[in-house]
Amino acid sequence: MDFFFSSVITLCLVMDPFGNIPLFISALKKVAPERRKAVLVRELAIALAITVAFLYLGKWFLHMFGIHSFSMSIAGGIILFIISMKLVFNNEEEPHTNPKEEEPFIVPLAIPLVAGPAVLSIVMILSAQQPNKLLTLAALLAASIINSAVLMLSFPISNLLGKKGLIAIERLTGMILVLMSVDMVMGGISEFMKGSL
């Protein structure tokens, strides 16, 4: 159960739903209010399908390219670190809006905002480390439900917290991700050292 809860927390932090709220609001501004929920559900479902595919194909992907699990751990940690730095030192620029007045499809909501490089890296690492795929799938589904619940309430949450509140949560998430990224890199190095002895 420790693996389950730690995986859910890790995935939720990496998905960064509060940090994505301004981006989702920006992408959905030109979508009719009555269509927003349907668009969100569609994009979140696509993102979930992609992450589940990576969960089950992650081990095959690693073997096909001859990638070791410690390499994924170190690479995932580096990606996490870069993302966390962007969260901590956010320049507060307004996110770019879609110039076309049409519903966003797959990009940018499903990919890369929800199923981004960091999330897919974490999913592949969990797939390589945990033989029980059902446990990892349960953690992924739980994290996706939490992420989806927050994003479905994007507009009310944004109004409640305000811009400064969202930035504060985003930076706190970034600080936690810094610690997690360092831990992932050190774990990968430790695994490499054990294998080379």
Domain ranges of the chain: 2-65+86-172
For residue 100, give the DSSP letter: S
- Give the tens place of pLDDT for each residue, 6-19: 999 999 988 989 87
- Give the tens place of pLDDT for each residue, 64-114: 888 777 887 787 778 778 877 877 786 555 445 444 456 788 887 898 789
pLDDT at 100: 46
Longest dimension (CA), the chain: 61
Q: How far is CA 191 from the centre of its chain?
A: 24
pLDDT at 98: 46
Q: How far apart are CA 158 and CA 35, in angstroms?
A: 19
Mean per-residue pLDDT for 127-155?
91
At 65, give phi and psi (nearest 5°): -100, 5
pLDDT at 118: 78
**pTM tops 0.75, yes or no:** no
pLDDT at 4: 93
Q: What are the CA-CA distances from residue 35 to residues 28, 62, 63 (Å)?
A: 9, 39, 42
The length of the chain is 197
- Give the tens place of pLDDT for each residue, 18-63: 878 887 887 787 888 889 999 999 999 999 999 999 888 877 877 8
pLDDT at 94: 47
- Give the tens place of pLDDT for each residue, 155-183: 888 888 887 887 887 788 778 778 877 88
